[in-house]
Amino acid sequence: MKSLISALLVLFAGSCYSLQGSRKPFKSTRVFGFSWQNCGSPSDPANLKTLNISPDPIRIPGRLTADASGSTSVELASPLSVSVVLEREVAGLWVKIPCVDELGSCHYPDACELLDRLVPPGQDCPEPLHTYGLPCHCPFKAGDYALPTSEISIPEVELPGWLANGNYRVKGILESAGAELGCVKISFSLHSSST
């Protein structure tokens, strides 16, 4: 779905940007074993159908290739809340990472407002959204959409100190007026080094 794909890409780019600042510097970060799945009800109006990302590992900074498709049967309009649960595997157990500086297991009461902060209204959407005419602001119209295979540059970022090497899983739930619209789970392994 064009809207969820757009929102995910803009939020990913924004999270990379927001990680910059007084964080722990690394020269090289690699993301291994990226995988995803829908975690909501089959009747949820918003569903991600495909999401392919390569290479494995993904290098940060670096370039990745991605394509995605999905659908939404309802318009996605403000306020559109997103609840994120971020967990790290520690000694075989999954430990929830708390929300710190709007990163971690956080609730965002209006993702539309967050998108407006990342890409001010009136400014072109970031690539590759701009090239393919994909929106990056609410409301997102109902429909079936696809992002063709695209190259995306990942900037050099400084990760927060608590984002240590290890296995992670992220669950994101999209809601409006208390009703679940969609849910996606992502898993990956992170390895950063200072050399």
Using one digit for the tens of pLDDT, what is the confidence trace for 128-165?
Answer: 888 888 888 899 999 987 899 999 888 887 777 667 78
3-state DSSP: the chain helix, strand, coil percent, rounded to 5? 15, 50, 40
Q: What H or E segment, with its residue span, contains residue 111?
A: helix 111-118
Arithmetic mean of pLDDT over the chain:
84
The answer to whether residue 17 scores a pLDDT higher than 80 is: no
2-193 placed in CATH 3.40.50.1970: no
pTM (2 d.p.): 0.81
Neighbour count for residue 85 (Cβ, 10 Å): 17
Amino acid at 28: S
